Structure formats: C-alpha cells, structure tokens
Structure 1
C-alpha cells in the first residue's frame, strides 16, 4: 500500500525530469495504462485513452501519433504541469485495479457528453 506516497499538485515526476534535463523534450504519457493493457490484442471494446501532456507541441504530437499507431486514443492533456494531475490518476487506477478488485485490465477515460 503506497497511499502515503506524496505526489501531484505542486510538482510531478515529469516536471522534475524537465528540471534535471532542461533541453530535453519531455512528454508525459502512458502512465495511466497498465502494462497488461499495452498489447493491442488485450484491448477489446472501447478504445483505451492515453493522456499526453507536454510543453513541446511537436514532441506531444509525435507521442500522440505513436499512441494512435498503437491503437490507443490520445487525449491532449495540456502542458507538462498537468502531469501533477495525471500521476495521481495513475495511482487511482492502481487502486481500482489491485485494491478494489478490478484487476490490471482497467483504464481511466475522459468522457465528453
């Protein structure tokens, strides 16, 4: 149980990487998807969304295109600072999968109605 882990809201792992490598083109993506869901044959039904955040528009577009080519539905998650929110979403997905009994075959989705 890692509920006491402090993540999100004031910084993120992605932002810390950017600080350490300021010339790098950092993109936050795929952190809300379990490894078991990565193979395309493991995904049936609705498309699995991949949230993509970055301050570099070209790098973000490249990662979104990669997600599309792999059969995912990329969702523009805005600037890299939004990684502060994506990282806790990944943690919540772990709780749904392992602690709430849904298994590692669930993924969060942003649904527009």
Structure 2
C-alpha cells in the first residue's frame, strides 16, 4: 500500500483515505481513460496531453499498489504491458460519472475565443 498522506487525525475519514489513493494530479484522469478502454501506456500518454512520462509511470505504479489497476503483459520483447481496472478500480467508475455530471452542470466549458479576421 502506498504511504499515506492523510494526517493521523483523518484516518477515520473515508474521504481522506480515498484521496490518499486518487487525490494526486492526473490520477482520476488516468482512471477515466482506463474506464474508456485506453489501456496501453502510449495511448494514455497521447490522451493525457501535458503529463510527463515519469509522472504517468509513477501514477500507474501507485494505482497498481492500491490494487485499482493491474498490468497485463502483452509483449515479451520488448517487455510491454497494458493496464486494466480491477474490481476495486471498476467500483470507482460511478464516481467518475458523478464527477463528469457535476462538471457538466457546474463547471461548463469555456466559450472559445473568437478569432479576428482581417
């Protein structure tokens, strides 16, 4: 299990314990992409514009340690894996849907800035 970032006084709080697992930048977006069927490292890297390779590797490792995902090898030479949600990871999908629904209602997409023409 990854090292807890929750203060001892927060250990009784299930929200705080959950944030220890999914509260890092990019983690929820990685889970979103995996729930959409994006499973390979290169596909995740392409989808998550702006994430560094080191950070993606770190987040995948932490999700594996938390047993939310599993790496399944698909090539021996070179060694490559694809990532799949475990039962614990799949149980988070309704939470992703709730976050999406909240964002659609309360955090609307910004209107595109009109371009000027000459």
After TM superposition, the score normalised by the length of structure 1 is 0.30
Higher fraction of helix: 2
Structure showing greater Rg = 2
After TM superposition, the score normalised by the length of structure 2 is 0.29
Structure with higher RCO (Cα < 8 A, 6+ apart): 1
